[in-house]
Amino acid sequence: MMDDFDWPDLARRFGTPAYVYDGDALARQITGLREALHPDLEIFFSLKSNPNPAVYGILHAHGARAEVSSLAELTTVLAAGTAPRDILFLGPGKSERELAACIDNGLYAIVCESFQELADIDRLAAERDVRQRVMLRVNPAYSASGSRLTMGGKPRQFGIDEAAVLEAGDLVARHPNVDLAGIQAYLGTRILDADVVVGNTTYILDLSERVSAALGIRLDVVDVGGGLGVPYFDGEEEFDLKALQAELNPLLDTFRAAHPGTRLIMESGRYLTADAGTYVVGVRYTKESMGERFAVTDGGTHHHMAAVGIGSFVKRNFPIELLAHGDGDGRGRGDSHGDSGGVAEPEAGTGRWTVTGPLCTPNDTIGKKVALPALNPGDLLGVRRSGAYGPSASPVLFLSHGYPAEVLVTGGEARLIRERDTTDDLLAKYRP
Ligand SMILES: *Cc1c(COP(=O)(O)O)cnc(C)c1O
């Protein structure tokens, strides 16, 4: 769990709503993952989960490499000093500019998602008189249960179907400027069960050998995807790294013995950043409607779309806590106990609160009937485990509120790592 901060002080200095990241927790998370997993398994951070350069900077400083899917993400990791050989570019609809940037920057590999894209890469590399290493993204004929979002064994816009890859015999000969030398597969996200990751990895390692034999290619690299999850909701349990270590590492040892020169890659986004982030919002109004209590806050689902709930009928809540009572009401502050950051013991009025935002839609519900102490305007609430797929994966322009501030706290020092959007920012791009 992340450290607690002087939330009222952070709110005074940086305002709310804001995303606050615990830099020390980020460092611990990547270090813990690297230490648990096979020393030859390289962790590539998926910038999609949190594109803030300061967040990437910490992960990179602790050994994360980069998996990017846009020019801005590529520029971010290059600017952070990432060696091109530690960058992968992936995505089902890459532009010609993006492909050219991969080649011109000498990226280790482009993860290619279609035969047409392969032809494009071949042409662009030929124009530059170079050969570009390419990994084929394979859509496996295998479906991982236990993942919240199954990616294999189904029609997908991602990658090339396993059967089509295995039948594409003359692929190498037809693309002389492509150095086809590995595969990638990604079988799901939010996986909380180590056995599922082991099952996926077993399948992908075997698939890599079958593809290598069928196409007659070297295996410079195998990217086994990843998708390690964090628990958000009641009843979910922490991913068991020890169990993964016990089962996965021997598997990789065996593969390593057969393929000593092959780079082994695991991608990770959510697992590395989710825990380190708290979305901090201030209560603006409290009210009651037909027996239900509401706390209307200055933040909302335009910054935290995931809190709306992922495809389930019953809304499940992210962990939401009272971080601090406001200045005005004379309660709470100074009664600090444990790690709950200046929050008083539950008192009369503790009960269920529906936490909403400023948007004019009933969907703008951050938490439904959350157990919280009595709330008043000025109180600070925190949505925990919010460091992944936060504002960058939310409709920040809805109702023209714009991006929230982002703050990084490392070694007790807090600094702004993204300014909140101003009205000028929001209006500057419109044309009459
Ligand atoms: C989104 C994505 C990831 C990151 O997934 P997490 O569940 O956040 O770890 C990794 N690889 C691919 C191909 C992805 O699309």
Q: Distance between CA atoms of 147 and 161, rounded to whole angstroms?
A: 20
Which pairing describes strands 149-150 and 188-189: parallel, antiparallel, or unpaired? antiparallel
Which of 70, 184, 186, when mutated, tests ligand 1's pocket best, judged by the most ligand atoms within 8 Å of its CB? Answer: 186
Of all protein residues, the one whose alpha carbon is nearest to atom 10 of ligand 1 is 267
- Angle 242-339-368 (CA atoms, 0-180°, nearest 5)? 85
- Displacement of CA 141 from its chain's centroid (Å): 25
Residues 266 and 82: their CA atoms lie apart, in Å, by: 17
Residues 166 and 214 sit within 8 Å (Cβ to Cβ): yes
- What fold, for 275-427? Lyase, Ornithine Decarboxylase; Chain A, domain 1 (2.40.37)
Ligand 1 atom 2: residue of nearest CA: 46
d(CA 95, CA 107): 16
Q: Closest ligand 1 atom to the C-alpha of 272?
A: 9
Q: What is the CATH number of domain 83-268?
A: 3.20.20.10
Among 30, 49, 88, residue to substitute to test ligand 1 (most atoms within 8 Å of Cβ): 49
Quick one: DSSP state of residue 416?
E
Beta bridge partners of 421: none
How many residues are listed for the chain in this entry? Answer: 432
CA of 138 to the centre of ligand 1 (A): 15
Q: Whose CA is nearest to atom 13 of ligand 1?
A: 186
Output the pLDDT for position 332: 39
What residue spans define the domains of the chain?
83-268, 275-427
Contact by Cβ (8 Å): 68, 269: no
- Which residues surround ligand 1 with Cβ inside 6 Å? 46, 48-49, 90, 186, 189, 225-227, 267-271, 388
Amino acid 391: pLDDT? 98
Atom of ligand 1 nearest to the CA of 226: 9
Determine the Cα–Cα distance for residues 212 and 172; give it in Å rounded to an integer: 11
Nearest CA among 127, 139, 143 for reference residue 191? 143
pLDDT (tens place) for every residue of the chain, 432 residues total = 445 899 999 999 999 999 999 999 999 999 999 999 999 999 999 999 999 999 999 999 999 999 999 999 999 999 999 999 999 999 999 999 999 999 999 999 999 999 999 999 999 999 999 999 999 999 999 876 655 555 557 899 999 999 999 999 899 999 999 999 999 999 989 999 999 999 999 999 999 999 999 999 999 999 999 999 999 998 999 999 999 999 999 999 999 999 999 999 999 999 999 999 999 999 999 999 999 999 999 999 999 999 987 655 678 999 999 999 997 543 433 333 334 444 555 455 679 999 999 999 999 999 999 999 999 999 999 999 999 999 999 999 999 999 999 999 999 999 999 999 999 999 999 999
Centre of ligand 1 from the C-alpha of residue 388, in Å: 11
Q: What is the pTM of this model?
A: 0.93
For a mutational test of ligand 1's pocket, the pick from 191, 222, 267, i.e. the residue with the most ligand atoms closer than 8 A to its C-beta, is: 267
Q: How many helices (H) and strands (E) are present in the chain, helices listed first?
A: 12, 20
Q: For residue 267, how far is its CA from the centre of ligand 1 (angstroms)? A: 7
d(CA 184, CA 138): 6
Using alpha carbons, select from 382, 225, 369, 367 the residue that is nearest to residue 306.
367
Q: Among 182, 183, 178, 188, which residue's Cα sits nearest to residue 156?
A: 188
Task: Calculate how far, in angstroms, residue 63's C-alpha sits from the geometric centre of ligand 1.
Answer: 18
Residue 252: in which H helix or E strand, if any? Answer: helix 241-258
**Of 127, 133, 185, nearest to 159 (Cα)?**
185
pLDDT of residue 149: 54
User: Which atom of ligand 1 approaches the CA of 389 most closely?
Assistant: 8
Closest-lying ligand 1 atom to the alpha carbon of residue 229:
7
